[in-house]
Structure 1
Amino acid sequence: MTQNQYTKALDDAGVSLWLDDLSRDRLTSGDLQELIDTKTITGVTTNPAIFAKALTSGNAYDKQLTELAASGADATTAVVEMTTDDVRAACDVLADVYTATDGYDGRVSIEVDPRLARNTEETIAQAIELHQKVGRENVMVKIPATTEGLPAITQVLAEGISVNVTLIFSLTRYREVINAWLAGLEGARTNGHDLSKVHSVASFFVSRVDTEIDNQLEAAELPDNQVQQLRGRAGIANARLAYRIFEQMQETERWQLLASSNARLQRPLWASTGTKNPEYSDVRYVNGLVAEHTVNTLPEATLNAVADHGEITDSRIPEYYDMDDEDLDALARAGVDYNQVVEKLEVEGLEKFVDAWNALLTDIEEQLKSHQ
């Protein structure tokens, strides 16, 4: 099959495209394999909201629900069984990509229970459990970058488990994530793990930053021309400045020592790249974030938009650092409190995942009763 010219151009520019969606229907229909073959998908990410949609739509899970109900499984056990089965199957679909890229791609992410995000020890325990239950080398465990999540990230990496660090909004937190990742690799080396097998990505959320700051700008008593000038600037600027931190990290002696032991870079992953504001281009958060050693995780609608009319150029993020600095400075002068924004987004992001998880458990509990 022939790869789409626009998605292939992204891959050629160093951007790995991972699908931000998974369901049993997508697996059994061959749709995931088709996206790999035609739209250059090289990985899959999931989250509680994605599984809530998948497990409560259609009848693809009916047979397993009946079996789980017969075994007396509770809702939590049922959700873990069904989601790890889907992730394991997706890992198998992507196994050829994983082998062909020497583990660089072909990854499938599964997230720890978001209710554990403020509990370091329970996050560690479940991350290890999920890794073992999926039982595939190309699985990544997603851990939110909360204050309590940082030491969990370090410990799980030290166990030789690949980690997708999620829910990053601020540049300060990203620096802390890098430190946690480096400490984890150092621990893995001490524990005798092959560092070339321990992969990580740092998921930096993009469009939600624009949504929040745009709302604040609209509510502020600012001249219309100033609002129009500043709207939609923050999300991409924030992400590109994170890439500057990523570049600076590679110059450190700490990283160089790990690289000499065959460690792999923790790639920035651009998440929340579906465009929320219909006034903005539907490929805004793809075209504006092209750089080597990055991942863009796309909802299917955004992937289809890129495949239809993506305008992909070579890596160009470093050209914009001065402008990005000025954009954030201009927002501060306009009264936007960056620290307040990113803190609010982390809290709200975690709440959304917890709400989705709780709703899923309630629904699955009802489904288990109906399948008895």
Structure 2
Amino acid sequence: MSHIDDLSQLGTSTWLDDLSRDRISTGNLKQVIEEKSIVGVTTNPAIFAAAMSKGNAYDDQIDQLKTAGASVDEAVYAMSIDDVRDACDLFTDIYESTGGYDGRVSIEVDPRISADAAATLEQAKELWAKVDRPNVMIKIPATPGSLPAISDALAEGISVNVTLIFSVDRYRQVIKAYIDGVKRAAENGHDVSKIHSVASFFVSRVDTEIDRRLEEIGTDEALELRGKAGVANARRAYALYRELFAEADLPEGANTQRPLWASTGVKNPDYPATLYVSELAGPDTVNTMPEGTIDAVLEQGNLHGDTLTDTADEAEQLFTRLGELGVDLGDVFEVLENEGVEKFVASWSELLESMEARLK
């Protein structure tokens, strides 16, 4: 039993936050699954930008796409879809043995259309059809413009990873969108037991932004709260998950939408590498980690039981203190959401530019 297995016993599934063709073709991903107890994979535009901009793993396919006259967008998605499909196949056994609970691989819609629900839904349907694997999840951002597409995609029977969630208020809207979508899926005749969804709640970026503001305030009390907001915010979200799904009137056989802790690699080297794992362990959750964080957990553990259940009161008290100190929490979450979309758009744009040059 490894520390990742111990984490699983507490109720938290560990997914790898990375994917590349090299990982697949060299057998590295298979090895990570077998040796590090990883039960899923998430991707995003930044991950694919990093994967496709270095090395020669994609050269043969780029030549084929160039000969076929593919556009830049078509080429990037053709390569991404192939990687995700191959990764899905590697996770088939886990997917089947867990009844669809794990063994999932995520692929994200184009971040440039996050304000357009109709375009987002159309691309979600296209990606779902082209990957053509039951264990794929389509990532849709929790922006105001994309929230209707989340419900609509679920209503079509598509499993959805809702991403870029920073605030509990936005998370409440995401849960509402999920419940609406899965009810409509049942009405549309879909087997709702096969529809799975996670809500990706970002953690470390909350600390980065709030720590910056606490340092600007500069008092002893303010500085003492650094490195605590990210965990507290996620714990507040977990309490909301437990509350709303306990009272939700879901269709028979429907699954709840598990919270997924994203951005769990620490940004501040002064914080323990396992901070966003050991302090967010508990039932019905997923933690998607960069491999460095996975290795830190395997080596150090630092687990100390369920750190999510019955933690809401303390978390709320911390946020009350932040507000009293003058931290504008509404502004914090607005900044983080806007920056999150902008960063993914920037990564995607850089990838398209480099791919255009290679196609030429």
Equivalent of 2:200, from 185, 196, 203? 203
Q: Return the TM-score normalized by structure 1.
A: 0.95
Number of the residue aligned with 1:234: 229
Q: Which amino acid aligns with 2:259?
A: P
- 2:336 is equivalent to residue 341 of structure 1: no
TM-score scaled by structure 2?
Answer: 0.99
Q: 2:150 aligns with which of 147, 153, 168?
A: 153
Q: Residue 120 of structure 1: which of 117, 121, 129 is its match?
A: 117
1:176 equivalenced with 2:173 (yes/no)? yes
2:257 counterpart residue number: 266
Post-superposition offset of 1:319: 3.4
The answer (yes or no) to whether the contact 1:140–1:163 under 8 Å persists in 2 is yes
Q: Are residues 1:20 and 2:11 paired?
A: no
**Is the 8 Å Cα contact of residues 19 and 48 (structure 2) preserved in structure 1?**
yes
SS of structure 1 residue aligned to 2:102:
coil
Secondary structure of the 2:201 match is: strand
Question: Secondary structure of the residue that 1:41 maps to in structure 2?
Answer: coil
**2:222, 2:325 within 8 Å by CA — same for their partners in 1?**
no
- Could you tell me which of 317, 321, 332 is aligned with 2:312? 321
Deviation of 1:348 (Å): 0.3
Show the 5 A alignment for 1:250-289: 250-255=245-250, 258=251, 261-289=252-280
Match for 1:53: what amino acid?
A
Counterpart code for 2:175: I
Alignment of 1:1-372 (within 5 A): 5-220=2-217, 222-223=218-219, 225-255=220-250, 258=251, 261-369=252-360
Q: For residue 143 of structure 2, what is the amino acid of its counterpart?
A: T
Equivalent residue letter for 2:347? A
Shift of 1:251: 2.0
Which is worse superposed, 62-71 or 310-319? Answer: 310-319
Confirm or deny: 8 A CA contact 2:147 2:177 kept in the other structure.
yes
Taking the aligned partners of 1:96 and 1:26, their CA distance within structure 2 comes to: 18
Q: CA deviation at 1:100?
A: 0.7
1:39-96 alpha-carbon deviations (Å, 9 max, x no partner)? 1100000000000000111000000001011111111010010000000000000001
Give distance in 2, aligned partners of 1:307 and 1:316. Answer: 18
Is the contact between residue 203 and residue 276 of structure 2 (CA under 8 Å) also seen in structure 1? Answer: yes
Q: Separation in 2 of the partners of 1:228 and 1:13?
A: 32
Using the alignment, how far apart are the partners of 1:320 and 1:165 within structure 2?
24
What is the letter of the counterpart of residue 341 of structure 2? L
Distance (whole Å) between structure 2 residues aligned to residue 316 and residue 112 of structure 1: 33
2:203–2:230 Cα contact (<8 Å) kept? yes
The answer as to whether partners of 1:11 and 1:40 remain within 8 angstroms in 2 is: no
RMSD of aligned Cα (Å): 0.9
Unaligned runs of 5+ in 2: none
1:146 Cα deviation after fit = 0.5
Task: After TM superposition, give the deviation of residue 317 of structure 1 in Å.
Answer: 1.3
Contact (CA 8 Å) 2:278, 2:307: kept in 1 or not?
A: no
Instruction: Report if the CA contact (8 A) 1:18-1:296 is conserved.
Output: yes
How far apart in 1 are the matches of 2:263 and 2:225?
Answer: 20
Q: Aligned partners of 2:331, 2:222: CA distance in 1, in Å? A: 19
Alignment partners' CA distance in 2, 1:40 and 1:263: 27
| Structure 1 pair 161–253 and aligned structure 2 pair: CA distance change class (3 A) | closer
Q: Which secondary structure does the structure 2 equivalent of 1:166 belong to?
A: strand
Aligned residues: 360
After the TM superposition, which of the residue ranges 284-293 and 226-235 deviates more from structure 2?
A: 226-235
- Code of the residue aligned with 1:319 in structure 2: it is D
Q: CA deviation at 1:38?
A: 1.4
> What is the rounded CA distance, in whole Å, between the counterparts of 2:92 and 2:102 in structure 1?
9
Q: Is the 8 A contact 2:214 2:223 kept in 1?
A: no
Distance of 2:163 and 2:115 partners within structure 1: 14
Q: Distance in 2 between matches of 1:247 and 1:40?
A: 26
What's the offset of the Cα at 1:229? 1.4
Q: Distance in 1 between matches of 2:142 and 2:106?
A: 15
> What amino acid does structure 1 have at the position aligned with 2:140?
I
**Contact 2:14–2:286, Cα closer than 8 Å, also in 1:** yes
Deviation (angstroms), 1:253 = 4.5
